[in-house]
Amino acid sequence: KSRHRIKAYNQRIEDLGLVNPCPWFWMDSDESADEDSIGGYSKEESAVMADRDLSGVREADIFIIDTIDATETGGREVELGAALILGKVIFHVGPIRNLFHMHPGIRNFRTWDNIISYIESTFYQHGGK
């Protein structure tokens, strides 16, 4: 599952001194939720999380979208749109899944290791954060 992969890379990025303002991947969904739920969360929980996630995009200096796994939820694409509108530094890792992943404001990487190397060289060349 992508959340387990992303947790590990998030830790490596935080070890560099950066902070994730919205670590959604620590949340556990309720797999027993009813069929009207969204991703295992109630509508009310989903509304709170959507607001929290968009606040996280606003607070972030860097937005990273991971498209390695296909998903039907659409949340990451909404967040990407918000990051584009807000003029955030955006990194993309994984397959190009729609035309917005090729937006000139997005730097594409093949792997998470490539992103981490880029962050290391960019931040440490310029004095870190």
Residues 41-68: tens digit of each pLDDT:
788 988 988 899 999 999 998 999 999 9
The residues spanned by each domain of the chain are: 2-26+41-125
Read off the pTM: 0.82
Q: Which CATH number fits domain 2-26+41-125: 3.30.56.10, 3.40.640.10, 3.30.930.10, 3.40.50.450?
A: 3.40.50.450
Residue 98, class by beta-carbon neighbours within 10 Å (0-12 exposed, 13-18 middle, 19+ buried)?
exposed
Give, in order, the Cα–Cα distances in Å from 108 to each of 29, 37, 47, 96, 100: 30, 33, 30, 9, 11
| Res. 116: pLDDT tops 70 | yes
Residues 6-34: tens digit of each pLDDT:
888 888 988 988 888 876 665 555 444 44
Residue 87's φ and ψ, nearest 5 degrees, are 70, 30
